[in-house]
Amino acid sequence: MARDRHPITTSWAVTGLGALVTALGWILRPRNKKASSGIMGFGLAHLVLGLFDMVRPTVRNS
């Protein structure tokens, strides 16, 4: 049985995950700059995509 999830919930989850991964990359910055830059880029990409998904119009097929 599938729950009817609101599309904005997924957008917030992706944005929150992006913020957490970006923070993790920032914390790891003093240890390994190359790896932390990649982690931060991955997190920032999720942040931006989550925000774009929030403003995108939703299409529902009933």
Does residue 9 fall inside a structural domain? no
**Residue 54 · residue 8 · CB < 8 Å:** yes
pLDDT of residue 59: 75
Q: Which two tokens stand for residue 37?
A: 């830059």
Does residue 6 fall inside a structural domain? no
pLDDT-derived band at 56, boundaries 50, 70, 90: confident
Count up the domains in the chain and report the number. Answer: 1
Tens digits of per-residue pLDDT, 7-50?
A: 788 889 999 999 999 999 999 999 999 999 999 999 999 999 99
Distance CA 46, CA 8 (A): 15
Does residue 50 fall inside a structural domain? yes
Range of the domain at 47: 15-55
Does residue 22 fall inside a structural domain? yes
Q: Is the pTM of this model over 0.85?
A: no
Does residue 4 fall inside a structural domain? no
| E-only strand ranges, 1-62 | none
